[in-house]
Amino acid sequence: MEDTRVAGVTGLNEPAQDATTNKTGKATQHAVLAARGQSMGPGRSPGAAKSAKPGDRSWRYAGGAFLGVVGLWLLIQAPGWVTGIRETRIQRAVDTVTPERLVARCGQPMEDVTKEVFPVIGRTMSYKPWGQGKVVFSFSRTAEEKSDWVFLFMKDESGAKTYSTPDEQIAALPCLDSRR
């Protein structure tokens, strides 16, 4: 069996007071390391965890830099993605306008006139948005029962202003946007 006593201890119950023991007579960690010829290093306490190796730090810095670059790239790209999603939603809302969907989104029109000129049926619907002039929608379809309505144009009551882009159409009649 190996003797693990520290120099300076005189007996089992009689500790000597020297640099290798504390007040209770037990050997301190500093004293044990000093007896072995080891050092804890400057500024290190006996229970402190070992620091990362220098190579580990460089990997951490590289990983942090990479995540920073990816985060910055996402911040730069996100507004474009949001704009693209918004434009797609608006385009879909305008492209799928039919008389039934227009009534479902915007309510009953002020005027709803259907004219049949064989083989085509034309339908105009008028809405008056809050604080604006009247907006007229024009649709057509063939006289066959199973044909779908085709959106032709959207203009103001006088016909001077035609709303040709999806943004203009949504601005003139906001209820067209399915998200609002």
Indicate left, alpha or beta for 156 from its phi (over 0: left) and psi (-120 to 50: alpha): beta
Q: How many CB atoms neighbour CB 177 within 10 A?
A: 17
Which whole number is the average pLDDT over 111-131? Answer: 88
Weakest-pLDDT range from 6-10, 30-34, 136-140 = 6-10
Judging by beta carbons within 10 Å of its beta carbon (0-12, 13-18, 19+), is residue 72 exposed, middle or buried?
Answer: exposed
Domain spans of the chain, in order of start: 1-49, 96-176
151 three-state secondary structure: strand
pLDDT category of residue 144 using cuts at 50, 70 and 90: confident
pLDDT one-digit tens code per residue, 9-27: 455 555 455 555 556 655 5
Look-up: residue for tokens 């072995």? Answer: 36
The two tokens of residue 66 are 């990479």
Indicate the pTM of the whole model. 0.51
Residue 176 CB burial class (10 angstroms; 0-12, 13-18, ≥19): buried
